[in-house]
Structure 1
Amino acid sequence: MARYAIGDVQGCFDSLRALLEQIGFDRARDELWFTGDLVNRGPRSADVVRFVKGLGERAVCVLGNHDLHLLAIASGATTRGPRDTLTDLLEATDREELLAWLASRPLFHRDAVSGHALVHAGLPPQWDPDRATALAAEAQAVLAGSGVRELFQHMYGDEPRCWDERLTGWERLRFIVNAFTRIRFCEPATGALDFANKGPPGSQPEPLCPWFEIPWRKSRGAHLVFGHWSMLDLYWSDDVTAIDTGCAWGRRLTAVRLSGDERRFYSVPCPGNPWIDP
């Protein structure tokens, strides 16, 4: 069996099929990990979700911010933005089945045998993998419950920016969701999240640094695989692998083979997308 992680697909179904052909994906034997953001910006969100759902136990997918945005729209908690390309899924005949499957995806996935963990954006420095697992389950219980529409109504916003175990209610849940699905830069002294800067490392003002470079980060030692940060592009170090290489923006869709002795990367070029503004 081979295990591959794939970066943010964002509705680019043709690119996903080309990438799977390149890696020689064997549906009967191999496993695919998706970093989230299966939907939006590309033209075929419904086909992407339908395909990944159809893989059953051969696929693991975490929720990304665009996936949550879709679910919020479907719940009536918010409305579509001018650059959202979600009509095909929202008007699909199997819409409710696809949305229910997507809503049941985790925010964090950890494989105890390999030591690999999968998350859309990253972890704040205060969380080790055990704490991340528990907090993801806390938020997922609300996503699966009757209060999910109320969660979506309170989900949007940047505060609070710093983790505190004493946080409660919607502030606590908003931080948890933001951390898993939106984190890029942090303040190194406090671990406070910064949402204003989205460029590559080096573009941020001092003293901000990428979340994975904070020296006291408690998740060190676990191998974290993530997407979300398209301006970071392909990046890896001893314990992190970033694979959002901007498929939806006309760059590449990337996979990394996680099984075996070494990480191996595969990419396919993606066409420029006329359905969105650059």
Structure 2
Amino acid sequence: MSTYAIGDIHGAYAPLTRLLDRLAFEPGRDSLLFVGDLVNRGPESVATLRFVRSLGESAITVLGNHDLSLLSQCQQPDAEERLNPTLQPILAAPDREPLLEWLRNRPLFHHDAGLGWSMVHAGLLPAWDVARAAELAREVESALQGPDYKAFLNDLFGNQPDAWSENLRGNNRLRVIVNAMTRMRFCHDDGRMDLDYKKTIAEAPAGLMPWFQLPRRASAGERIVFGHWSALGQVAWPDCNVWGIDTGCAWGNKLTALRLDTPAPEIIQVDCGSESVTR
């Protein structure tokens, strides 16, 4: 039995099938952990959702920012105008509602104590160890899976507040959690998120640093795999105990798997090419 984390697919179903062929993946024997952003940009978001859903207990998927955006936009009366063309086939799909319901019930954070790995789409704020992150993720999941989820999704998006406080309440509290776990790349040295700059570390404005390089990060002792950041430049950051596996499949680059059940994580990749890019 093997366990692999898979990077951001973004509707690139054909590269995913090639990657799984290379892994000799067998449902029921092997396990897949998807770091989120199953949809958008690529040409086959519906096929990707259907396939990952069909894997049942052989797969765990955490939510990414594009997944949450899809859930929010699909409930709007002008959804056809709002949605990226690569997402519009989801509206017309005969299994639209089961697919969206399945997606809405995915977790925001995953921790596997047996393997010694945690998974999140974007990152964790410095005050959170993995146990606290799991608790906070469940707060968001309760709102997303509750009867008032449409109102929650309508008030979810925005850049403020930009820092964590245990005193936060209501949707401000949940928005910080969601932004950290699905959108964050850089922080200021005081832990405030910067959600505007999205490019490379080398070109980052003064005073910003990757979330995983912040000093006194409470999760630093835990191995974390994440996606979201295709401009990161490398997969393995072992000094920080993190592996970033969004390697730009949506931009025609590579789709990455990271084997988690071996003493040293193993990186396996396939080229995506132009077939993965629509946007």
State the TM-score, normalized to the length of structure 2. 0.95
Distance, in Å, in 2 between the alignment partners of 1:122 and 1:262 is 22
Distance, in Å, in 1 between the alignment partners of 2:95 and 2:135 is 32
State the secondary structure of the residue aligned to 2:167.
coil
State the secondary structure of the residue aligned to 2:200.
coil
Seen in structure 2, the aligned counterparts of structure 1 residues 77 and 32 have a Cα distance that, compared at 3 Å, is: farther
Deviation digits for residues 138-171 of structure 1, max 9, x if unmatched?
A: 0100001122111111111100101011011111
Distance, in Å, in 1 between the alignment partners of 2:182 and 2:215 is 21
Distance, in Å, in 2 between the alignment partners of 1:31 and 1:13 is 18
- Report the CA distance between 1:134 and its aligned residue: 0.5
- Name 2:72's counterpart in structure 1: 72
Give the letter aligned to residue 261 of structure 1.
P
Are the counterparts in 2 of residues 9 and 247 from structure 1 also a CA contact under 8 Å? yes
Are the counterparts in 2 of residues 13 and 44 from structure 1 also a CA contact under 8 Å? yes
- Report the CA distance between 1:261 and its aligned residue: 1.3
* Two-structure CA RMSD over aligned residues (Å): 1.4
Does 2:213 align with 1:213? yes
- Name 1:37's counterpart in structure 2: 37
Give the letter aligned to residue 181 of structure 2.
F
Aligned runs of 1:62-101 on 2, under 5 Å?
62-76=62-76, 79=79, 81=82, 83-101=84-102
State the secondary structure of the residue aligned to 1:105.
coil
Aligned runs of 1:259-274 on 2, under 5 Å?
259-272=261-274
Seen in structure 2, the aligned counterparts of structure 1 residues 233 and 101 have a Cα distance that, compared at 3 Å, is: farther
Does 2:199 align with 1:199? yes
Are the counterparts in 2 of residues 233 and 244 from structure 1 also a CA contact under 8 Å? no
Are the counterparts in 1 of residues 42 and 277 from structure 2 also a CA contact under 8 Å? no
Stretch deviating more after TM superposition (78-87 or 16-25): 78-87
Deviation digits for residues 64-83 of structure 1, max 9, x if unmatched?
A: 00000110012228845574
Deviation digits for residues 96-144 of structure 1, max 9, x if unmatched?
A: 1111111000000000112100100010111111110000000100001
Distance, in Å, in 1 between the alignment partners of 2:92 and 2:167 is 41
Does 2:181 align with 1:180? yes
Give the letter aligned to residue 139 of structure 1.
V
- Report the CA distance between 1:15 and its aligned residue: 0.6
- Name 1:3's counterpart in structure 2: 3
- Name 1:275's counterpart in structure 2: 278
State the TM-score, normalized to the length of structure 1. 0.95
Are the counterparts in 1 of residues 227 and 245 from structure 2 also a CA contact under 8 Å? yes
State the secondary structure of the residue aligned to 1:219.
coil
Distance, in Å, in 1 between the alignment partners of 2:254 and 2:277 is 16
- Name 1:242's counterpart in structure 2: 244
Matched-pair identity in %: 46
Distance, in Å, in 2 between the alignment partners of 1:136 and 1:77 is 29
